[in-house]
Amino acid sequence: MQNAPVSIPKVLILCTGNSCRSQMAEELLRSAAAGRMEVFSAGSKSAGYVHPKAIEVMKENGHDISSFESEHLEKYLNAGIDTVITVCDNAQESCPVFPGSVKTYHWAFEDPAHATGTDDEVLAEFRRIRDQISLVFGAFAAGFIQGTEK
């Protein structure tokens, strides 16, 4: 008798513009989860582009998000999402109800797109947020993997 195939959970990371934080989180979670979950990102008011500085700081750590697209969350309303993670307060407030039994998490990060100062200072803010996101989503992936290996 064969075991039923195990479905891979689908995780959607939401932000307002889907141009910085959610894009970085999508790539970092996808990498940390190592194929154990499908990861997507979207915005409640999609900006239509991925911020160049987000692309730059991710590339510094070996992650290429230059081909990512900024998408609207409506694309995922009927996509069988299992988990929704909001990474900004605005997205949490405007998050729609997804059909089915969806787990939700909210981890707010400051928006590096609002950073001011010299180019180096702005890049430092993007790096700081990238590193915070990496810690949180790395821990989330590790907990998920540990829970599935029992």
Q: Which long-range contacts (CB under 8 A, 24 or more apart) does 124-131 make?
A: 126/20, 126/53, 126/54, 126/56, 126/57, 127/57, 127/60, 129/20, 129/21, 129/24, 130/24, 130/28, 130/54, 130/57, 130/58, 130/61
Among residues 15, 28, 54, 129, the one annotated as catalytic is: 15
Residues 6+ apart with CB under 8 A from 128: 112
15 is catalytic: yes
Among residues 47, 77, 95, 115, the one annotated as catalytic is: 95
20 is catalytic: no
Among residues 28, 88, 91, 129, the one annotated as catalytic is: 88
Give catalytic residue positions: 15, 88, 95
